[in-house]
A and B are shown apart, each in its own frame.
Chain A
Amino acid sequence: MLRRVQCLIRLHSNGRQALQFRSYAKDGANSKQNPNPNPRAQKQGSKNLPAVRNPFATAQDRTKDSYLTMVEIFNERDVHRRNHVEFIYAALKNMADFGVERDLEVYKALINVMPKGKFIPTNLFQAEFMHYPKQQQCIIDLLEQMEDLGVMPDYEMEAMLLNVFGRQGHPLRKYWRMMYWMPKFKNLSPWPLPDPVPDDTLEIARLAVERMCTVDLRSKVTVFESKDLKDAIDDTWIVSGMSPEQEKLLREHSRQKALYIEGPFHIWLRNRRINYFTLRADPDTEFLAQLDERQLDEDDVSNIEVPFFGRAPPRRHNQLGKLRSVHQQDDGTILAICATGTSTKDSLLSWIRLLEANGNPSIGEVPVLFRFTSTVPAKAKEIEGSAGVPAKSESRCSENGQTRSE
């Protein structure tokens, strides 16, 4: 019986709500045309479920302004602000649609929906037994959403929460925890990124290559345009990272040994993924072995050579040898890194030719092989493909003395 009365009240209030929100939301009757209708709103006839109308799901204009206006209308609807917990949950759920999920102002507006002073415990028992648990849990969930999305609260929010829940409130405890830990973790990364990460792919690719090049401080990141080359098919950008040390390694690389373009590998910049390719040579095993030999353990007394009986005294050999570069790894020598706009074979070919033209003439004399971990298209997809194009690229390949393999 009681439940039915509640249902009736809710239905009644929903009717009024619909009237109020008319300027921002579509009517229930129009919900079929709505691209994102609320399924619960359509079940108005069903006996068991109370009809709950979600103004956020039916809003036409999805901007921060309309979001804040809806919160404001709810605030001014009546003194009691019935269903404000449900309202805040619905508002939290639909934040992403309005693009406000990282906006501190909006979170503050939602906390502002709570009545001030009403939920402050007045005695010890109330304080200890979570006074107004639904309301407190609701704001804890709100704070948790902020924490998950990396939105840091400010001191005004503390004042607001103090006004609503008092010093003993659980949301305050959550807030204080957040304000203790979040600033500690915020700038922890040794490779800081702009927040938010830019949307432009070229910009992200540049950031990615710069990040990978932090291994060698002398690295230079250049953005090439493939249209600078005479007969490149793809018109795209190529972000290339190479250091003087890598140029030197490339110069000293044997002309008989092949270089490999490997990839696509990926690197993550927060939630963006960028494919990159490397120009790699097989490890210089002779040099690496020689390094190991040089590292004599002077403390090892288990095998002392005795310099008697005509044997030459032990020579301190190779004390002044070549140092190992950071690019000379055990599994290969990395000579350059690149990310291209199309990640196609043609753009990679353009990259090699651009490297050749920009201070690495030796690369033209070395065979360069492709070695891909997944399928890489030969060229960027065109809507109108011409038959002559692949043959052209093949011929250019042989011109440069480069071979392909997969």
Chain B
Amino acid sequence: MNNILRHGQRLGCWLPAVQHHIHTTAVHRTFWEREKKSGYKTKLPEPSKKQLILDGFKELKEEIKLWRREVKEQLESDPILVFRPGETDVVFDFKAPDVLDKWTVTTDADHGEGKSTATLELSAAGAGLFHGEVNSDHTKDGIIKRTGYANIRTKRVRKSFKRETTYDWTQYNMLIMKVRGDGRSYLINLHTEGYFDLMWNDIYHYVLYTRGGPHWQIAKIPFSKFFLSSKGRVQDRQGPIALNKVTHFGFSVAAKKGMDGPFGLEIEYVGLQYDPSHREEFAYEMYQTPKYIVAT
């Protein structure tokens, strides 16, 4: 709704002369979205052209290095093809150097829609600590109904020369995490951003229940439990996650049901595993449904 209003306002600013002939109220764009942020894209000031060229050259060195590695890998052609039951492959390791650069922290305060704060930093134990305070208070402007969230997400996985790619996790069927939480439940988000605008907001979710307390906890969650949602709405047409199309990974926490206040989730690593005893493909039964009711 907010998005639509913003569009309306923007139209009004651009074309003051023809304002009367164009709707400035809700225009329901169901099928087409202008950009991936759905109206939440903040325009950041671009550096000067000269600076861009200089930065480009600086990046070029790294990109060529990356490209060389890719070519070498391609020539060696030695991918892991064997399922190794019980072995954990770490994907996001918080003990690795410069790990914090790979993550983006967002809260509802980013767009002036809430008052939550969050940071991701290294804890005393050397793990990543996602902490802050979620707050469901917001300005009652009549558009925003509910607020209070904090979120971390990895940056889009890419190949050399800034080409976007996806993770390929098809060999695994379990997500393994070593975490230490505070008793809250967190949302695990696996983004499978597609090519078309309809698929830009596809996220597979599952809950990470944390025990709380001083002990570390190893959460083992099968990928079959993840369910599809888009823009926060669980979808009617479900299906198992396509593990070769994962683009981002993240955690969310919300101030729902009066859970306003501080939170803290310490993550040591996020890994993948193949468990041969887990045969389930999708945890949710798929009923045959009447026509024109589902997904409408």
Q: Which residues of B contact A150 (CB under 8 A)?
A: 257
Please judge, given known A-B contacts A268-B182, A268-B184, A331-B124, whether A215 and B213 are in contact too, CB under 8 Å. yes
Residues of B within 8 A of A128 (CB): 292
**Is B230's beta carbon under 8 Å from chain A?**
no
Q: Which of B146, B214, B234, B261 contacts A273 (CB 8 A)?
A: B261
* Contact indicator per residue, chain A 237-275, by CB within 8 Å of chain B (1) or not (0): 000000000000000000000000000011111110100
B216 within 8 Å of A by Cβ? yes
Q: Are B209 and A191 in contact (CB under 8 A)?
A: yes
Closest residue of B by beta carbon distance from A127: B292
A214 within 8 A of B: yes
The answer to whether the Cβ of A118 comes within 8 Å of any Cβ in the partner chain is no
Stretch at the interface among A24-32, A67-75, A181-189, A290-298: A181-189
Interface size on B, residues (CB 8 A): 31
A184 to B207, CA, bound (A): 12
Interface SS of chain A: mixed
| Chain A residues within 8 Å of B215, by CB | 212, 215, 326-327, 329, 334
Contact between B182 and A212, CB atoms less than 8 A apart? no
8 Å CB contact of A189 from B146, B182, B185, B259: B185
Judge whether B183 is part of the interface by a CB distance below 8 angstroms: yes
* Given contact pairs A184-B284, A208-B183, A331-B125, A271 touches B258 in the complex (Cβ within 8 A): yes
Chain A residue at smallest Cβ distance from B261: A273
| B213, A268: Cβ atoms closer than 8 Å | no
Contacts of A173 in B (CB 8 A): 293-294, 296
Which residues B155-192 have CB closer than 8 A to chain A?
A: 182-185
Judging by beta carbons under 8 Å apart, are A267 and B209 in contact?
Answer: no
Chain B, residue nearest A181 (CB):
B234
Q: How far is the CA of A240 from the CA of B184 in the complex (A)?
A: 21
Given contacts A212-B211, A278-B214, contact A149 B236 (CB under 8 A): no
CB 8 Å contact bits of B237-266 with A (1 = contact, 0 = none):
000000000000000000011110111000
- Point out the residues of chain A lying under 8 angstroms from B262, CB to CB: 266
A172 CB to nearest B CB, Å: 8
Tell me how far the C-beta of A95 lies from the nearest C-beta in chain B, rounded to whole angstroms. 14
* CA–CA, A213 and B126, complex, Å: 24
Closest CB of chain B to A63's CB: distance in Å? 21
State in angstroms the CA–CA spacing of A327 and B213 once bound together.
Answer: 12
The reply on B132 being an interface residue by CB < 8 A is no
Contact B256 A188 (CB under 8 A): no
Partner of A270, one of B234, B257, B296: B257
**Minimum Cβ distance to chain B for residue A167 (Å):** 8
Within 8 A of B (CB), among A295-351: 326-327, 329-332, 334, 337
Q: Does A190 contact B (CB under 8 A)?
A: yes
Chain A residues 43 to 77 lying within 8 A of chain B, measured CB to CB, are none
Say whether A337 contacts B213, CB under 8 Å: yes
Q: Are B213 and A212 in contact (CB under 8 A)?
A: yes
Kindly list chain B residues whose C-beta atoms are within 8 Å of the C-beta of A353: none
Closest to A150 in B: B257
* Beta-carbon contact of A330 and B212 below 8 Å: no
CA of A128 to CA of B236, assembled, Å? 18
Q: Which of B125, B183, B185 has a CB less than 8 Å from the CB of A330? A: B125
Contact: B236 with A177, CB < 8 Å?
yes
Q: Does A87 contact B (CB under 8 A)?
A: no
1/0 per residue, CB under 8 A from A, across B106-121: the answer is 0000000000000000
The reply on A148 being an interface residue by CB < 8 A is yes
**A211 and B236 form a contact (CB under 8 A):** no
Chain A residues within an 8 Å CB radius of B146: 148
CB distance from B145 to the nearest CB of A (A): 9
Task: Other than A214-B211, A331-B124, give 8 A-B pairs with Cβ distance below 8 A.
Answer: A148-B256, A168-B293, A173-B293, A189-B209, A190-B209, A266-B182, A331-B125, A334-B214
What are 23 A-B interface contacts by the 8 Å CB criterion? A148-B256, A177-B234, A181-B234, A188-B209, A189-B185, A191-B209, A208-B183, A208-B212, A211-B183, A211-B211, A212-B211, A267-B213, A268-B183, A268-B184, A270-B259, A273-B261, A276-B213, A329-B214, A329-B215, A329-B216, A331-B124, A331-B126, A337-B214
B residues with a Cβ closer than 8 A to A are: 124-126, 146, 182-185, 207, 209, 211-217, 234, 236, 256-259, 261-263, 284, 292-294, 296
